[in-house]
Amino acid sequence: MLLEEYIFAGFGGQGIMTIGQIIAYAGMLQDFYTAWIPSYGPESRGGTANCNVVISDEIIGSPHTHHPNGVIVMNAPSFDKFEPMMASGGVLVVNTNLSPKRSERDDLSVVYIPTADIAMEIGHPVLASVTALGAFAAARGVFDDAHVEKGIDWALPARHKDMLEMNIKAYQEGKKAAEAQLKTATK
Amino acid sequence: MSDERVFMKGNHAACEGAYRAGCKGYFGYPITPQNEVTEYMSAHIWEHGGTFIQSESEVAAINMVMGASATGTRAMTSSSSPGISLKQEGLSYIAMMELPMVVMNVVRCGPGLGNIAPHQGDYFQATKGGGHGDYRLITLAPNSVQEMAQFVYDAFNLADKWRNPAMVLTDGTIGQMMEPVDYTTMPWMDPPDKSEWQLDEFQEGRERHVLTSIWLDPADMAVAHEKLIEKYERLKREEVRYTEYLTDDAEVLVVAIGSPSRVTHSAIRILRQEGLKVGLLRPITVWPFPYSAIREYADSKHVKAILVAEMNWGQMVEDVKLSVLGKKPLHFVPKHGGLTFTPEDLTEPIREILKNPESPNTLWHVS
């Protein structure tokens, strides 16, 4: 049975909600049951935001997850809040540009990605979240690139379609950065 | 599901269900967690030949729906708990005038302003009348984004079939979440002919159409009442809807609606893997309520106890109690404050109940 439960978290405006929708959409294209839900409570008004994604080959119960097996943290408060909640064996992507801590847990697969630096090299700071998503997809290994890339296209509003290529590049660069780290880790 | 699937928010899907049912009027006022309905209606109802008005208040919105519906137009409004309270006066008038319309409540936590988290505290309000006077709303309770669209669509058809307001009663989780939706079960349709009663221009020789909720003479009012009650009694016989999951051999029958029914589904899968016999009965219509269906389980040999899970202090459990009539122990598991259930919240009490059907920890007492 496949049961993927993710929390993606960071500051409002970093594209957290969108990358959650992209991965949920990719899950749908892979014929899984898939659900996404934002945190829309008072915390989403304080500058931090997160969304939950559940992907499964069986009907999804709650879209909320309390023990995620996949987490992206784009800032330090999100690291503090969600890293301890993670299920053993989970994948954690840390944006090192805004979250300097290292995880002390030895039951997680953690990749540390300077997503803002990579995004700026490609050409736009908004690409940081998709870079993180690329790293996440590489570490988690559940999604076909073609489906995620379709998801990126779907999530881009018509007025930003000129950014599609840059987004896909950011996704690929994020993947590469994670793959390089995962290789070193297994050596 | 077919290849027609789109990935949408529950609140957006509800609008698509309305468009497909031929809804041409939406009147509402923003409130979390249903803002996406007003947003989506304001952006898209025009593409379907409809009209959107952001009213000055919820009271204005429900009266605009009353006016639109009186002309035979399919119209709706939506809100969340505090806003739905404001609409109750209008709903009472609409019920007495027998106007078909749809109202959706994406329930948040009350009383008062409460908070904006998912809750089910408006069950009594939705199923027992809500406003003043002796009336009922046909009330449907979706538990997925697919059903948000389908039940709004169905609510329009039921409202017209019975000339009665219909409510879609959901919660913040279902409104806010995104899931795949398949619209092939909701073909585009035009509203039925309502020329028998709708208000329109003067026509020579035709009897005047009157829509009213006032009969000053009690003897006249009694006739109007009887007509309503006769309709409600027929509704109770003909429109009860519910679904069942693994109930055939269930020793514990869970009754739940909305997002808790989804968590129940997960809990049952976990318990079934342990060989424990647990099933779910999920009312689709919470008015009319599936009393007889639940009573049959209470009468059955295999059911040892019945459990209700709600995100409130115990509301639907009272309807289940009326179904069970003391024939089996009745248990209640609540969730308060806008917190949401985890499967463990349900698996643990159910294991306990299977060991002792009279387990005092969750037994529902009414003194």
Of A35, A41, A66, the CB nearest to B177: A35
The residue behind tokens 């919240």 is B345
Q: How many domains does chain A have?
A: 1
Please tell me the predicted confidence (pLDDT) of residue B3.
Answer: 55
pLDDT of the residue at B365: 80
Asked if A63 lies within 8 A of B263 by C-beta distance, the reply is no
B178, A35: Cβ pair inside 8 Å?
yes
From A119-133, B292-306, B353-367, the region with the lowest mean pLDDT: B353-367
Sequence ranges of chain B with CATH classification 3.40.50.970: 6-185
Which pLDDT score, from 0 to 100, does residue A184 have? 81
Each residue's pLDDT expressed in tens, for chain A with a length of 187 residues: 899 999 999 998 899 999 999 999 999 999 999 999 998 666 555 567 899 999 999 999 999 998 999 999 999 999 999 999 999 999 999 999 999 999 999 999 999 999 999 999 999 999 999 999 999 999 999 999 999 999 999 999 999 999 999 999 999 999 999 999 998 876 5
Report chain B's mean pLDDT, rounded to a whole number.
96
Which residues from B are below 8 Å from A41, CB to CB?
115-117, 338
H or E element that contains B245: strand B242-245
Residues of B in contact with A35 (CB under 8 A): 177-179
The pLDDT assigned to B60 comes to 98
- For CATH 3.40.50.920, the residue range(s) in chain B are 243-355
> What are the φ and ψ backbone dihedral angles of B220, each rounded to 5 degrees?
-70, -40
For residue B176, give the nearest of A25, A37, A42 by CB distance. Answer: A37
Per-residue H/E/C for chain A? CCEEEEEEEEECCCCHHHHHHHHHHHHHHCCCEEEEEECCCHHHHCCEEEEEEEEECCCCCCCCCCCCCEEEECCHHHHHHHHHHCCCCCEEEEECCCCCCCCCCCCCEEEEECHHHHHHHHCCHHHHHHHHHHHHHHHHCCCCHHHHHHHHHHHCCHHHHHHHHHHHHHHHHHHHHHHHHHHHHHC
Verify whether the Cβ–Cβ distance A34 to B343 is below 8 Å.
no
- Enumerate the residues of chain A whose CB falls inside 8 A of the CB of residue B117: 41
| Chain A with chain B: Cβ pairs closer than 8 A | 63
Give the pLDDT band (50/70/90) at residue B1.
Answer: very low
User: By residue range, what is the domain housing residue A103?
Assistant: 3-186
Q: How much is the average pLDDT of B335-360? A: 96
Q: Do B177 and A24 touch (CB under 8 A)?
A: no
Residues of B in contact with A28 (CB under 8 A): 5, 7, 180
Per-residue pLDDT averaged across B104-115, rounded?
Answer: 96
Question: What architecture is domain B6-185?
Answer: 3-Layer(aba) Sandwich (3.40)
Which residues in chain A have Cβ-Cβ distances shorter than 8 Å to B262?
60-63
pLDDT band at B322 (very low <50, low <70, confident <90, very high): very high
Q: Output the domain CATH number for residue A99.
A: 3.40.920.10
Could you give the CA distance from residue A127 to residue A169 in angstroms, rounded to a whole number? 9
Q: Which residue of B has its CA nearest to A18?
A: B178
pLDDT per residue as tens digits for the range B133-187: 999 999 999 999 999 999 999 999 999 999 999 999 999 999 999 999 999 999 9
pLDDT value, residue A39: 87
Which residue, among B39, B115, B179, would best test binding to A if mutated, counting the most A CBs under 10 Å from its CB? B179
What was the pLDDT predicted at A48? 76
pLDDT value at B2 more than 60: no
Contacts of B33 in chain A (CB under 8 A): 40
pLDDT over 90 percentage in chain B: 97
- Find, in chain B, the residue whose alpha carbon is nearest to that of A31: B1
CATH 3.40.50.920 fits B243-355, yes or no: yes
| Residue B272 confidence (pLDDT) | 98
Mark which residues 11-50 of A lie under 8 Å from B by CB: 21, 24-25, 28, 34-38, 40-42
Chain B interface disruption, residue of A2, A23, A34, A64, most B CBs within 10 A: A64
Residues of B with Cβ-Cβ distance to A42 under 8 angstroms: 115-116
Give me the residue from A40, A62, A64 closest to B33, CB to CB.
A40
At residue A41, the pLDDT reads: 64
Q: Which residue of chain A has the CA closest to B145?
A: A35
Q: Inter-chain contact A40–B179, Cβ cutoff 8 Å?
A: no
What's the rounded Cα separation, in Å, for the pair B365 and B347? 21
What is residue B10's predicted lDDT score, i.e. its pLDDT? 98
Residues of B in contact with A36 (CB under 8 A): 177-179
Distance of residue B39 Cα from the nearest chain A Cα, in angstroms:
16
pLDDT the model gives residue A46: 56
| Beta strands B102-109 and A91-95, pairing class | unpaired
Q: Note the pLDDT tens digit of each residue in B39-93.
A: 999 999 999 999 999 999 999 999 999 999 999 999 999 999 999 999 999 999 9
